[in-house]
Structure 1
């Protein structure tokens, strides 16, 4: 077992999901900074890559977009830092046809941005869930599954035209919530540019109860394209998405690092710090309330913690 797990850091806008109740109108210390500034700052802290939550790009007005693309690409070249992924969570599953059409269109725009800026892949969970929110009250599992397969095929075919990959995030609350469903999706979608996004927190709250972590990662093998690195505790609701500071939750970071190295994982591992948003039992942040929103501290301390547990460049 050799090699190293390349670390990247995720760039978030303020209020990334609008005023969604579980996220709140939250602000972080980098939220009002430009993409170019964030890329340079992440490089300053020694990361090899960066990731962008798509609403950060959506904030750019049409007359600003082309200039910012040039600035980001110039920073990437000058600082020798890679654009690992765009996180574009969008709607694939819903009984409302217009929401689904808008969701697919939004994802295609994120693919366009990835091609413009030089990102490797675009990531989505298959919103709007199925188990949370309980869409099974309005549509059958067969209907929901068909929506996931056909939407993924459509965006994968679109992405292939510009040499971009699509990564589907395995996450609690959605119909893609375990290894079996992920492998079934790969088989039925049948597109070579479709991969899995491993969310480390999800794997310890949702996958581990059904399957040992190393077995799960081994089954996914070379279909893993993105890893989101975070810690979670998982209160007893379906989403189990209460994020806590590194080391405070259920995740065994050393075990996960070993699992990824055993499959010779070569792509990026994104520090995905979400707990600066609203917390509490049904929020996404710290169970005690609002978490750390100083992203300079996040960049430094998350990297230090992960390097102690086998991530990053070997010494």
Structure 2
């Protein structure tokens, strides 16, 4: 049985550029170059890395080509893979111009993936449907049609570069359970469209409806990337409060066994978001104080996961 390959996600400072659920957060790697981060991740023994797209967007036009060369050189030097780009963008909205801009942004992330050698580009279905409550402004049928047509458009664009598109199953969006994910695959009907499994979401949002192993087996080989985090649920629709590994609802051994049972072969990204300022409705830890020392995160997250069945075989 193959092992669950670990990768590590690179974040910029202030990743969402606004002062809502996350605040103007900063992490210890936020001002470092992509090349520096890749080198560091390789030093800590990860097999891959992932990048949140605003980190790439920070590159000025006159810096971009040089940084692409440096990142590719670091990948070759350390035999480390570029697992995914995370580009959360707008596919569902009554505002046509926001949707057009969202699709265009995702295509630019695909271009970056092609330039840098990333394997897939990930998005959740922004701007939601249940949170924010777009059902007050558009019917479910209208929203679903927007999801399907946008996903087809970006998948066809990505196909020319042999890049996959991964749709993240996540609370608050119209793709928030296994049934809706499988229906998306059927309606979009594109071979390069996959699911991104967020481990925290599966324990706060999927597990109440379906056992974890059953959910993973239903998705089977349509899982393309896994975001690894711990999470707790609050009585609000997002239920999105990330906590340090071992402090939440996730059973990491159970999830590891479930992924191994379907022969999952792609990367499992340590997605540490809780460094961002929290609050009751925030992304970060309930205390509002998140660990932002990414060197500690890279070391200790890997240690914890290896103890629970992830990473290279001992």
TM bracket (short chain): over 0.9
SS in 1 for 2:254: helix
SS in 2 for 1:166: strand
Q: Distance in 1 between matches of 2:134 and 2:286?
A: 26
Show the counterpart of 2:21.
22
Q: Distance in 2 between matches of 1:103 and 1:3?
A: 37
SS in 2 for 1:202: helix
TM-score, length-scaled by structure 1: 0.99
CA displacement at 1:278 relative to structure 2 = 1.3
CA displacement at 1:221 relative to structure 2 = 0.2
Residues 1:241 and 2:227 aligned together: no
CA displacement at 1:172 relative to structure 2 = 0.1
Aligned residues: 314
Show the counterpart of 1:220.
219
Residues 1:109 and 2:147 aligned together: no
Show the counterpart of 2:77.
78
Show the counterpart of 2:199.
200
Matches within 5 A, 1:265-276: 265-276=264-275
CA displacement at 1:301 relative to structure 2 = 0.2
Show the counterpart of 1:180.
179
SS in 1 for 2:302: helix
Deviation string 1:88-136 (CA, Å, 9 cap, x unpaired) is 0000000000000000000000000000000000000010000000000
CA displacement at 1:20 relative to structure 2 = 3.8
Matches within 5 A, 1:1-315: 2-315=1-314
Deviation string 1:25-70 (CA, Å, 9 cap, x unpaired) is 0000000000000000000000000000000000000000000000
SS in 2 for 1:67: helix
Deviation string 1:126-154 (CA, Å, 9 cap, x unpaired) is 10000000000100000000000000000
SS in 2 for 1:144: helix
Q: Distance in 2 between matches of 1:234 and 1:25?
A: 24
Q: Distance in 2 between matches of 1:21 and 1:185?
A: 29
TM-score, length-scaled by structure 2: 1.00
SS in 1 for 2:196: strand
Q: Distance in 2 between matches of 1:46 and 1:30?
A: 17
SS in 1 for 2:190: coil
SS in 2 for 1:69: helix
Q: Distance in 1 between matches of 2:188 and 2:19?
A: 30
CA displacement at 1:202 relative to structure 2 = 0.1
Q: Distance in 1 between matches of 2:255 and 2:311?
A: 13
Q: Distance in 2 between matches of 1:273 and 1:305?
A: 13
Q: Distance in 1 between matches of 2:257 and 2:30?
A: 33
SS in 2 for 1:216: helix
Higher alpha-carbon deviation: 199-208 or 20-29: 20-29
CA RMSD of aligned residues (A): 0.4
Unaligned runs of 5+ in 2: none
SS in 2 for 1:261: helix
Q: Distance in 2 between matches of 1:137 and 1:237?
A: 18
Deviation string 1:204-237 (CA, Å, 9 cap, x unpaired) is 0000000000000000000000000000001111
SS in 1 for 2:15: coil
Instruction: Report runs of 4+ in structure 1 exceeding 2 Å deviation.
Output: none
